[in-house]
Amino acid sequence: MNHKSKPVKIGSRTIGGGPFSVWAGPCSIESLDQFMITAKTVKNLGACGLRGGLYKLRTDPSSFQGLGEEAYAVAVRVKSELAMPFISEITDPRQISDMLDVVDAFQVGSRNMHNYALLKELAQVNKPILLKRGLAATFKEWMLAADYLVRGGNEQVVLCERGIRTFETATRNTFDINSIALAKLESPFPVLADPSHGTGMAAIVPAVALAAAAAGADGLLIEVHPNPATALSDGYQSLDFSAFESLMLKLPKVLRALDREMA
Ligand code: PEP
Ligand code: MN
């Protein structure tokens, strides 16, 4: 297994190159209070950086679509106050210029992995890209999507396995642990695991997160919410603070068994 993939710098922190980094936060930024309390808590528990959706691509058009521009100020305030880098999804190339001042890495979501027009635009930006695997993308298609970024001039790519759609319906997605080990073997990019979307079930997120660490992931992208039952998106797969704390206590033990450490 190759833990020495070329590290990618996201704000003040690094993904890849050895240490394991945890990027946590809510699926969606819902308010200043919700994002601030979540960010403070995950920071105290050892997270390196923050996630939080500004724009949400929802299957149901009547579902919460994210606060969008309204939440830019919230994101900037929280990340500056806590000195934590921030990753958020871009859903439209027209958001690039405004989002440049808000995010430390652009997330390309699963639904947009095949959006080559978006990838070509992001290839020209000097910011890292967190490239999620498409929900029905083969490993090869995922690697070729990364190639769009590299060929277009942006080598700051981090891959993110977030589960794929299979015949199994007991969980939201089938988390493809093979792809983590394979990406570490065959690609030059660091790999984050997203067990939140990978499972869609908070009760099994910690087990799959630990498995991903054991399989060689460079870190986690994980959904945490102060009160998952009231979350405006993905509450059923979001860890509450105590579940996140318990996971953060177990992770170093799994990593240590494999001669690795937390960032
Ligand atoms: C998310 O990270 O909240 C998200 C929408 O992820 P995905 O694109 O993997 O569904
Ligand atoms: Mn989500």
pLDDT in tens, 167-180: 999 999 999 999 99
State in Å: Cα 218 to ligand 1 middle: 18
Is residue 1 scored above 90 in pLDDT?
no
The Cβ-side half-sphere exposure at 181, using a 13 Å CA radius, reads 8
Determine which residue's CA is closest to atom 9 belonging to ligand 1. Answer: 110
Q: What is the mean pLDDT of residues 158-167?
A: 98
**Rg for the chain, CA atoms, rounded:** 16
pLDDT in tens, 25-74: 999 999 999 999 999 999 999 999 999 999 999 999 999 999 999 999 99
Ligand number nearest to the C-alpha of 238 = 2
DSSP code string of 194-241: -HHHHHS-GGGHHHHHHHHHHTT-SEEEEEB-SSGGG-SS-GGG-B-H
Ligand 1, CB within 6 Å, residue ranges: 27, 53, 109-111, 132, 162, 197
Provide the token pair at 154: 């942006």
pTM higher than 0.85 for the full model?
yes
